[in-house]
């Protein structure tokens, strides 16, 4: 009987050891994945996008990561009178349109952006935004211009640029 208990005890120790090694392996994999990507500064984000966030912008937020692919997002407020001039600096040729887009309801792509990327909670109607998507020189550009009221003179710009 004591031998049987000893065998059970040894087997249970072996199982606990396997579980601990599996947990260590999972932690190692998570750390390796974090090491594969790096956060980007605002200057690096603007360099990747190929254009600057306009000087007239306020309430500017940016987030981006570079890994095998790079994706950057930004949100900022811009006076309505400055929109057309800023759009000429963006490497897209398509015009903004009012077609419905899922981008207008997109959840924050990064956990760090949840406090300021609020598209999924705005419940925007099509008449409250204009949108453009275009693939240019290996990058996808999505720009959403939000104007909650027609009389609003301050627009909120959401943009996402990524390569694949």
Q: From the first residue on, what is the mean pLDDT of each consecutive set of 10 residues in the chain (164 residues)?
A: 61 58 60 64 93 96 91 97 97 95 95 94 95 96 96 97 91
Q: What is the pLDDT of residue 112?
A: 93
- Residue 67, pLDDT score: 85
Q: What is the pLDDT of residues 103-120, one digit of tens each?
A: 999 999 999 999 999 999
pLDDT (0 to 100) of residue 9? 63
d(CA 123, CA 104) in angstroms, rounded, equals: 8
Which helix (H) or strand (E) segment is 159 a member of?
strand 154-163
Q: Which residues contact 121 (CB under 8 A, 6 or more apart)?
A: none
Question: Under the phi-then-psi rule, with left for phi > 0, alpha for psi from -120 to 50, and beta for the rest, what region is 29?
Answer: alpha
Rounded to whole angstroms, the Cα distance separating 151 from 113 reads: 28
Do the beta carbons of residue 145 and residue 101 sit within 8 Å? no
User: In this predicted model, what pLDDT tens digit does every residue of 20-33 receive, in sequence order?
Assistant: 555 665 666 555 54
d(CA 51, CA 37): 22
Q: Give the pLDDT of residue 161.
A: 96
User: How would you write 72-117 as a 3-class SS string?
Assistant: EEEEEEEEHHHHHHHHCCCCCCCCCECCCCHHHHCCCCCHHHCCCC
pTM: 0.77
Q: For residues 41 and 73, what is the distance between their CA atoms, to the nearest angstrom?
A: 12
């Amino acid at each position: 009987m004591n031998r049987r208990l000893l065998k059970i005890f040894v087997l249970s120790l072996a199982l606990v050891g396997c579980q601990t090694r599996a947990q260590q392996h999972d932690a190692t994999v998570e750390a390796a994945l974090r090491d594969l990507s790096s956060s980007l500064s605002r200057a690096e984000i603007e360099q990747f996008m190929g254009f600057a966030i306009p000087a007239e912008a306020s309430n500017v937020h940016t987030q981006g990561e570079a890994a095998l692919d790079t994706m950057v997002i930004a949100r900022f407020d811009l006076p309505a009178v400055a929109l057309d001039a800023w759009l000429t600096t963006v490497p897209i040729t398509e015009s903004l349109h009012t077609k419905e887009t899922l981008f207008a309801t997109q959840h924050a792509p990064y956990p760090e952006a949840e406090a300021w990327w609020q598209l999924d909670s705005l419940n925007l109607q099509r008449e409250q935004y204009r949108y453009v998507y275009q693939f240019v020189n290996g990058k996808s550009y999505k720009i959403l211009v939000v104007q909650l009221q027609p009389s609003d003179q301050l627009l909120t710009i959401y943009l996402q640029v990524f390569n694949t």
